[in-house]
Amino acid sequence: MNIRTIPRILPAVLLSLLCSCASDQVLIEPCQVSGVPAVRLKNDCISAEIAPECSGIFSELRMNGSPAMIAPVVYRVEEDDLLPPEREQNAAGGRAALWGFPIRPYSMTLQRSGRMPDGSGLVEMACNHWLGQPLTMTRTIRLHPGESRFLITTTVKNSSDTEQQISLWENFSGHLRGDNLADELLFPVKGGVSRIGNYGVKYFKSDALFRKVQKQDKASYKIAVREPWAARCRAGAPLLVLRSGQLGNQGFFYTWSGTELEHTTEAVQSPASVAPGGIRSFETEYLVFPEMPDFRGLCGDTAIGMTVCQDQVIFTLAACRRMDAGKFQADGLGTAASGIIEPGKTVQISFRRPEKWRVDLPVTGCFQGVNFTLLPIVP
Amino acid sequence: MKKTILGILGAAALTLSAVENDNAALNRDLQFRVQGCEITAQLQFTLANPNGSAVLPAPEIQDSAECLSVDYQMPDLSWKIRVVPRGKTLVAESELHNSGRTEQLLEPGLAFQFRTGVSFSGFWDGFGKTLEIGNVPIGRKGIKGALEKHVGASTSPYPACAVFQGDRVFFLGTVPFDPLSYTAAMYNPGKKRLESSLRIVLSPGQTLKIRQVLGSITAPYGIPEGVVQTYYDSFPEVYAVSGGQDNPYVWGTHAHYMSWWRKPDRELSRRFHITLEWTYCAYRRSGELLCRDDRWDYKPSAPFRTQNMLGGELVNHARYSAPEFRRLVKERFLKYGRNFGWMYYNSCGGTWSEIQLAEKYFPDSINNDTDGVRKYLENWSTIHDREVRVFPYGTSYAEEFERAQKILVRELDLPGFAFDCSYGGAYYRGPATGKPLPGRAWDDQGKFIDQSIAINHQVDYVRGLRNKEGEPLSVFFNGNLKGDYAMTEASYVEKAQYKRWFPLLRWQIGPRPGTTHKHGFCIRQVQPDWRNLTREAFLDLVGRLSDHMILNQFQYGLANDQLSMFGNPQMIYIQPEALELMRALWQVELPLKTEFDGRVRYLSRYGSGANTFFYFGNSSRHDVSGKVSIDNSRLTRKEESVLFVRKMRDQAVTENTVSGGFTQFKLNVPSRTPVIYEAVASLTMPDGKVRVSSKKSLDRIVFTLEPEKAIDSKIRFRNIYGFRIGSVEVDGKPVVCTGNSAELKVPAGGKLSVAYMSRAYQLSEADLKKFSFTDPLGRPVFRVQTVPEAKNVAERFNEYFRFAEKYQGGVTMKNDIPITVSDAPVPAAETVTLLIGGASGIRMADNGGIVIAAENADQLDRLVTQFFYALDRKYPVKIPFRSVMGLLQNMVNHFDLSKTVLPCRSYFEGDGK
């Protein structure tokens, strides 16, 4: 038995593509993740590393040149005389998975990477017989200049001659570095729902922002979300949000607490039949915002925090792409102008707190023409 | 809660030894001395409570030939201790009595106080690895280990702790499976003090018995291994199997739902050596095993899954009334239960109940612990509804659960129960902790009882029940607690699981038989991209996985199951040897040195003394050769040497060299081949060479020893299950043998032979060959006659030959084999006659017919099973791949495997050279 050292040779295909990347916008560089050849996708604001061989893992997320924000990926291959090489990968980083199938390390090949005509950087990987199924999975990760978000598309093609029932799953174990137990997860939950499809989900009487702190609650939950996102925050750390596209009527969010410090935010798409040769896609985003006191919700690509004082209600705004100056309206509180919001920066807007204004009710409003609802936090 | 030490009995002047075992002694002053060791220790008894008030008084110490007594008398408490020898340990057997009016929370302890100059390098806290000793105290408090997520409980330590320097070990602990909810272990390097304690609760007037263990050993073959082996040797009864070697269920392989989800098949089960099944599950509401009329219909908290497999049929509960369902279950169990070893799955030993049931009827029983363990499960024990953890000991639920099990044994004629999730680590703090029950402990949050106490209590309860023949029931358990046949819920190809669980879980299972239980080859996990493989590469992969599983079955003494047997005759081929070794009882310590330099990765040992087996496995592509030296001092309690021969089915020869307390022999370990050496005898002899050979046939095994130098010794021969010693001869002259030993003299160059006779086979292979079962075209040409009670057994002959026909065994069946039934059949030519009564065994009748006779139908059935194993060499079958868990239908289809059988190497046949 021995632990194999992963060859540190970057595939030639990657090298040839990297040479053409410019440095002033989005850069794509070779790197390594846990000893495996990987690709770094970065702009002036954020960066991340993607390792195709290691389940196409998304890791080493950084903002403004900071140290890596999330726990590192640990991957190793153990060889045995009789067994196929055994891959071990910890629950860290983001990857695609298939709901209903155990998450096991898989290997992807880099299909292309480089700068696209619109200036964005793109990494595309693919894998045949994904997770032992007759499926070809392709995953693209895109970063635009000046944005602090990664746009991810997972596409699955049914390569068999029979219909396949699949449920795509964005598995993101992005526990923030430091005392992981202090990570706080926030899910905008839909009230009155106890079941989705075949699964019981955590029940809430009414719509709310469910706050789960690993230190206090080590349970795993399936969650019916009112809006398809889950946030992770902690004092002294940036705000990290997983946002999914359409989940479908049987889709849900999931959080798993492992035996160690794992505390995940995951999105599971509704199961669907895919005909032979047919495809199915799942769009997700990893949004990164600067640390935000009292984060309460998203309004489009803007994160909103709300701090309620004795006589004031203070809103903090941060965006994952540049937002022009605009109008911020909070129902029952008033309207104010916001300045330009640059990714990585925050803007604050304050209102005088009316006497009868209740903190335990949802706060609705509109920012730059997009409506928002900030839900009361439970528990 | 602060713990206060109440008292310590200090050292005093050394006097003569009061109690001693093989290697250590404790004198009246409680000074502990070890033979051949300079380090001595002062043994101290300690007592603490959460509040602290009094100091232990001076004890009254008395000694006798059998024990040392230490009595403490306090105003409201007496503590009477008897220290007695057990193997290489001393056991402090205590009685604590609360004569006061208030409950007492106590922490009795033991400590070894070493002298200032003594130092130790390492500490073992009872978990899976040893720890380095630094400058600060090191230890563990309580028995909760790592979370076992799947079973909702936690690992727990082996009940011992130790300090060591080199191979010298001092250990303290308690007895495995004694009802203790809290133990602690600590070494304080500053104070040179090893402590072991446990916590108890004593109600007014209550007397409680506890046992604490102490000892010192050398452990040159691994520190925890040495301590655990000492426990195995000293407390064999805690690992004893219900019904012992004659238990018909626990010495075989596990059906793994083949006899439960499908219609049970006697011949297929026999070919796979299956003896028991896990019947998940034969009730509707978890926690309501009886399916009572008044609790049958209810509104589930989650949408109700109504379908479940039961005895080969998909049963939809919604279509049954309670009486109908009970009738169905009863009909199935009476038809198949005893024949197929259907262990009744009892809702995790009574630790999970459907939520509404528990809340309505057994609220006192709900276990609210959520500290690192789960309180709720979704659709697990029943697959039907959500469940809450309950506590089946001292509670209303315990009474109901025990009553239900008792009724089920009677109504369904059960062979035993299947206990899932047999782990502790969940603390019950409900009303039952107020009762004067053994097993209560305390901590900062008050009184509690660990779940392990309740499960072990239920195992004891089941073992106390009897079937209608008055035989004890068996317990098939998944975990680390009491029971008769263990399950580890992973396939051997799932290496990560074994790395996490072992060695600790293997130590806790101990010398008991058991099985793995998961998805066999686990192709989807180990080779997710299996579709990329060619057919040839896929079959090569399955062959490699199979060899890996075979090497591990011999390594750990836990069987593989039927999932890896379809299409894979090698896995079936190795079972007789593998199961014989399992029956010889797996041991933890491997007292040998080899020249293999790590190239033979698989090594294990079963049994000890004259009943020892060693296994060597080499997973590499190359054969490995070298010399092995076996340390006889670890295998025998006297200065004896054990002699070995390569274990083969026909014959073998091994040149043994006895030198300096070691038995040495050279061996070759071929690639991917299990190599076994079996002990033949244990004796006192001078250093020198002994040639040991074996010759085996159906009815007879002969071992021959040819020593280079003269032997004058008491010699112990091996016990061979199913055989008795027929004769012992020295140079052809008979020698009197008493039991399995004889006093004898063998001259230099002489020949000692011991012949074993089969208890079952009273006919030879040559006799068997004379009987024509089939004609040259493979058509059966014999008939069966039977007494009425064995008609069902007689039908097995048709099943046997139809099976052989189906799987290319060289048989052609046009008609059934004629079976005639009469009260007193007379053995006849060309006839197999089944009889009940008279001399038991398989024999030739004078007229050339075969007679199989036994005391009752069950025993006759087992003899027929044995008889068929003899026939298998004549009618070898090829059972092709089929869809099973771990190698699915899409794989069978993709690679066109439905008629494919992997090659099989007959590596236990020939002469072993």
Q: Please write the tens of the pLDDT for every residue from A326-370.
A: 999 999 999 999 889 999 899 999 999 998 888 889 999 999 999
Q: Between A and B, how many CB-CB pairs are < 8 A?
A: 65
Judge whether residue B455 has pLDDT over 80. yes
**What's the pLDDT score for residue B531?**
86
Tell me which DSSP letter residue B319 carries: G
Residue to test with chain B: of A53, A55, A82, A98, most B Cβ within 10 A: A82
**Which tokens hold the place of B815?**
């008609």
CB B741 within 8 A of CB B679: no
Alpha carbon of A92: minimum distance to chain B alpha carbons (Å): 18
The verdict on a CB contact (< 8 Å) between A195 and B532 is: no
**What's the pLDDT score for residue B12?**
36
Q: Which of B221, B216, B225, B222 lies closest to B194 in space, CA to CA?
A: B216
| Averaged pLDDT, B893-907 | 97
d(CA A282, CA B230): 59
- Cβ-based burial of A359 (10 A; exposed 0-12, middle 13-18, buried ≥19): exposed
ipTM of the complex: 0.84
d(CA A331, CA A366): 8
Which residues contact residue B625 at a Cβ distance below 8 angstroms, ignoring those fewer than 6 apart? B666, B667, B668, B669
The verdict on a CB contact (< 8 Å) between B532 and A86 is: no
* First CA to last CA distance, chain A: 49
Alpha carbon of B528: minimum distance to chain A alpha carbons (Å): 4
Listed by number, the residues of chain B in 590-609 with a beta carbon closer than 8 Å to a beta carbon of chain A are 601
Q: Please write the tens of the pLDDT for every residue from B636-649.
A: 988 899 999 999 99
**What's the pLDDT score for residue B152?**
66
d(CA A227, CA A297): 9
pLDDT confidence tier of residue B2, bands split at 50, 70 and 90: very low
The verdict on a CB contact (< 8 Å) between A80 and B495 is: yes
Tell me which DSSP letter residue B905 carries: -
* Nearest residue in A to B378, CA atom: A200
Alpha carbon of A130: minimum distance to chain B alpha carbons (Å): 7
CB B155 within 8 A of CB B480: yes
**What's the pLDDT score for residue B477?**
97
Please give the share of chain B, as a percent, with pLDDT higher than 70: 97
Q: Which of A134, A64, A139 lies closest to A94 in space, CA to CA?
A: A139
Question: Is residue B541 classed as helix, strand or coil in its secondary structure?
Answer: helix
Judge whether residue B377 has pLDDT over 60. yes
**What's the pLDDT score for residue A2?**
33
Q: Is B452 on the interface with A (CB under 8 A)?
A: no
The verdict on a CB contact (< 8 Å) between A80 and B378 is: no
Chain A residues close to B672, C-beta within 8 Å: 82
* Nearest residue in A to B620, CA atom: A81
Listed by number, the residues of chain A in 71-110 with a beta carbon closer than 8 Å to a beta carbon of chain B are 78, 80-84, 86, 88, 101-102, 104, 106-107
The verdict on a CB contact (< 8 Å) between A83 and B524 is: no
Q: Tell me, yes or no, if the pTM score tops 0.90.
A: no
d(CA B632, CA B638): 9
Q: Is A369 on the interface with B (CB under 8 A)?
A: no
Q: Please write the tens of the pLDDT for every residue from B832-870.
A: 999 999 899 999 999 999 999 999 999 999 999 999 999
Closest CB to B524 among A86, A132, A195: A132
**Crossing angle (nearest 10°) for helices B322-332 and B396-412:** 60
The verdict on a CB contact (< 8 Å) between A259 and B147 is: yes
Q: Please write the tens of the pLDDT for every residue from B165-176.
A: 999 999 999 999
**What's the pLDDT score for residue B14?**
39
Chain B residues close to A84, C-beta within 8 Å: 526-527, 541
Q: How far is CA B763 from its chain centroid?
A: 33
**What's the pLDDT score for residue A179?**
60
The verdict on a CB contact (< 8 Å) between A84 and B541 is: yes
| Averaged pLDDT, B522-540 | 91
Q: How far is CA B522 from its chain centroid?
A: 24
CB A175 within 8 A of CB A182: no
| Averaged pLDDT, B574-589 | 98
The verdict on a CB contact (< 8 Å) between B548 and A104 is: no
Judge whether residue B15 has pLDDT over 60. no
**What's the pLDDT score for residue A180?**
56
| Strand B752-758 relative to strand B783-786, pairing | unpaired
pLDDT confidence tier of residue B155, bands split at 50, 70 and 90: confident
Q: Please write the tens of the pLDDT for every residue from B35-83.
A: 889 999 999 999 999 986 557 899 999 988 789 999 999 999 999 999 9
Task: In chain B, count H helices and then E strands.
Answer: 17, 57
Query: Of all residues in chain B, what percent are helix, strand and coil, respectively (each to 5)?
Result: 25, 35, 45
Chain B residues close to A1, C-beta within 8 Å: 601
Q: Is A352 on the interface with B (CB under 8 A)?
A: no
**What's the pLDDT score for residue B10?**
38
At residue B456, φ and ψ (nearest 5 deg) are: -60, -35
d(CA B793, CA B839): 18
**Which tokens hold the place of B652?**
């073998």
Which residue stretches of chain A have pLDDT < 50? Answer: 1-23
Alpha carbon of B427: minimum distance to chain A alpha carbons (Å): 17
Q: DSSP states of B369-432 as a string?
A: --SSS-SEESS-SSSSS-EEEB--SSSHHHHHHHHHHHHHHHHHT-SEEEEEEE----EE-SGG
**Which tokens hold the place of B233?**
């040797």
More confident residue, A53 or B381: A53
**CA triple B362-B368-B369, angle to 5 deg:** 145
**What's the pLDDT score for residue A178?**
65
